[in-house]
Amino acid sequence: MKTSTVSASLKSLVVVLLMIPASPARAAGTADAGAKTLIDYFLPTPIVCPLTSATWGASTVLPRDICNGLEDSTGKMWTYWDGKIMQEASDGTYHLFASRWPETSSAGFNDWPNAVIVHAKSNSTLMGSYIPDATSPITENGGKGQNVVGATLNDGSYVILTSGNGSGNAVTTFANMFLATSLTGPWTDEGAISFNANGYSTYEIWENQNIWQNATGNFLMVTRPFEMLLSPALTGPYTIQGGSVIPKTVPSSLEDPEDPVIWCSGGQYHMVYNYWQSRKMVHLTSVDGIHDWTYQGLAFDPTTNVVRYSDGTVNHWFKAERPAVFLQNGHVTAFSFAVTDVDKQYIVPGSNHDSKVIVVPFDGVTFDRENPGAGSPGCPAEPIGPVDAGEADAGAVPGDAGSTDATVPVDAPSPVDEAGTSDATAPSDARVSTEIDAQAEGGGLDAGGGAPLDSGNTDAGSSGSSNASGCSCKAGRDPRANGATGLALLVGTMAGAGWRRRRNAAAR
C-alpha cells in the first residue's frame, strides 16, 4: 500500500475517533472499572534500614524493612495493632499511637482485650523507625485501650480516641477520649462522651470510632455500624444522622465491614474501610460527609503489589486492617495499616508469626487533582492555610457548618438500614479489658523499633526510582521518529483529555 493511502487511512481513523460520542458520566454509587481507584496512588516505600530476612514472618513478608513503622523485630515480646501517626507542631517530629499486648500470652493474638495504648516516636522520618515508650502515655485505667485512633484539632491540640465498652445495644461507655497540647503529653481524660440515638440503632456504636473535625469546627464521627454522627463539641452529644451509609453498589461478595477512617481532601469527604473476612478495603466519597456516600472502588488489597520498596522488593501481608491517614498541606501523604503475616489464629507464642504497623507513602496531591470534589464549607475545595499534623485545618474558625452543621435537622428516624452493616455474629474488638503492667524494653536491638538508623542507608525521605510526584521518569523514543506512533500519541492524548473532562464532570 502506498504511503499516501496509509496517510489517508490514518486521517480517516482520526476523524472517526473524534466523532465517537463521549461515554456517559459515571453513575453515582458505581465505580468505573476502567478508571483508577485509590489503590493506584500508593507509592514505592523508601527503605530506612537494609531489608532483612533475619526476623519473624512468613516468606511473603521477607525480606522487609524492620525500621518501617512499628514492630517488635524479635517477635517475642510484643504484638502491635492499630496505628495513627501525628506530627508535633512544635518541632515537626512524627509520633505514632497504637495498642500492644504481650506476645507471650497463651491466648496469642486473641489476647487483644488486654491491650494498652502505646506511644512511639520516629527516629527521623515519617516512615520510621518508631521507638515505643516503656510505659503507656495514658495513666487512667492502667493505660488500657483498643482501636486506638487520633486527630489533630483545629486549635492545634491533639486527641486520642479508643473504643468504649458494651455488648450489642447495651452501651456502657460510648468511647474513651484523651486530650493534650503536646504529643508527648500529659494527656487528660475528657470524661464520658455522650450521644443521641435519634431513633437509630446503637448496635456496636461503641466500636471502631473514627473522628474528623471539619473546617467549620464541627466533629464528624463514624463507628462500626457505619452510621454517621455529628456534634458541635468534642465530647458530644454526637447525634446519629441515619442508618448505615455503605452504598448497595459495594460488591455483595465482600463480607464483614469494620475499621472506617474518614478525612476531607480535594473538596470532598473520603472514607476507607476494611472487610476483614474478605481481606479487602474499599473507598467511598461524600460531598457533605453524611449523605450520599458513593462507592469509588478498591482502596487496598494485600494480594496485590501495594507494599513495594523503592528497590522493587514486594511484601504481601496476609491481613491489612485498621487503616489510618497522615495528611500534609491538605493531602494524604501516607497510610498506616496494622498487618499480620498469617491469619490471626496462627499468631501464638513460639510460632514466629506476629503483627506490626506499616507505613505506605501515598500520592495524595495527584489523587485529589484527578478526583476533585465540589467543595463545601466543612470541606473546602482547596486547603485553607497550613494543615497541621495531617488533620483538620489549624486556621479554621468555627462557624456555619454548611451541609454538616450540627444545627441542621437530621433525617427523620427510621428503621436502621442493615445493608452492609457488621454481622452480629462476627468477632468484634474491645469486649473486655483487664489490667496488665506496661513492661520496659531494653537491649541492643530495640524490640519495638528495629535496628538503629544507619546514615548510610537509603534516605527515607526519597522514593528511590520515583520522583516527588510519584512519576518514574524514563527517556522515551522521540514520537517524531514514526508518524504512526506520533498519531497514536495524539489520539491517546485527545482521548485522555476527554476522559478527564468526563471524570471531572462526574465528580462535580
Query: Per residue in 94-105, pLDDT tens?
Result: 999 999 999 999
pLDDT surpassing 80 at residue 494: no
Give the bridge partners for 319, in sequence order: 340
CA angle 325, 326, 332 (to 5 degrees): 85
pLDDT surpassing 90 at residue 460: no
* Sheet containing 188-192: order of strands: 149-152, 158-167, 170-180, 188-192
Full-prediction pTM beyond 0.95? Answer: no
**For residues 480 and 255, which has the higher predicted lDDT (pLDDT)?**
255
For the chain, the domains span: 38-404, 482-508
Model confidence at 141, in pLDDT bands (50, 70, 90)?
confident
* Sheet containing 78-87: order of strands: 78-87, 94-102, 116-125, 128-132
Average pLDDT over residues 40-67: 98
**Residue 482's pLDDT is what?**
32
Number of helices and strands in the chain (H, E): 3, 20
Average pLDDT over residues 319-343: 97
**Residue 403's pLDDT is what?**
39
- Find how far residue 276's CA is from the centre of its chain: 15
Q: What tens digit of pLDDT does each residue of 177-224 get?
A: 999 999 999 999 997 788 999 999 999 999 999 999 999 999 999 999
**Residue 82's pLDDT is what?**
98
**Residue 164's pLDDT is what?**
85
Model confidence at 361, in pLDDT bands (50, 70, 90)?
very high
Backbone phi, then psi, for 182, in 5-degree steps? -140, 145
Beta strands at 238-240 and 195-196: parallel, antiparallel or unpaired: parallel
Left (φ > 0), alpha (ψ -120 to 50) or beta: where does 297 sit? left
User: CA-to-CA distance for 32 and 298, rounded, in angstroms?
Assistant: 11
User: CA-to-CA distance for 463 and 311, rounded, in angstroms?
Assistant: 9
| Average pLDDT of every residue of the chain | 76
Model confidence at 462, in pLDDT bands (50, 70, 90)?
very low
Determine contact, residues 138/117, Cβ cutoff 8 Å: yes
Average pLDDT over residues 154-176: 90
Burial of 282 (0-12, 13-18, 19+ CB in 10 A): buried
Instruction: Name the one residue in this structure whose C-alpha cell is 521477607.
Output: 62
**Residue 448's pLDDT is what?**
37
Model confidence at 383, in pLDDT bands (50, 70, 90)?
low
**Residue 77's pLDDT is what?**
96
Average pLDDT over residues 107-127: 95
CA angle 403, 211, 191 (to 5 degrees): 115
Nearest to 445 by CA among 77, 83, 125: 77
**Residue 34's pLDDT is what?**
54
Neighbours of 406 (CB within 10 A): 19
Q: Say whether 132 sits in a helix, a strand or coil.
A: strand
User: CA-to-CA distance for 413 and 430, rounded, in angstroms?
Assistant: 28
Determine contact, residues 334/389, Cβ cutoff 8 Å: no
pLDDT surpassing 50 at residue 26: no
What CATH code is assigned to 38-404? 2.115.10.20
- Helices 483-507, 3-19: inter-axial angle, 10-degree rounding: 0
**Residue 455's pLDDT is what?**
31
Cα–Cα distances in Å, from 161 out to 96, 149, 206, 499?
A: 13, 5, 11, 41
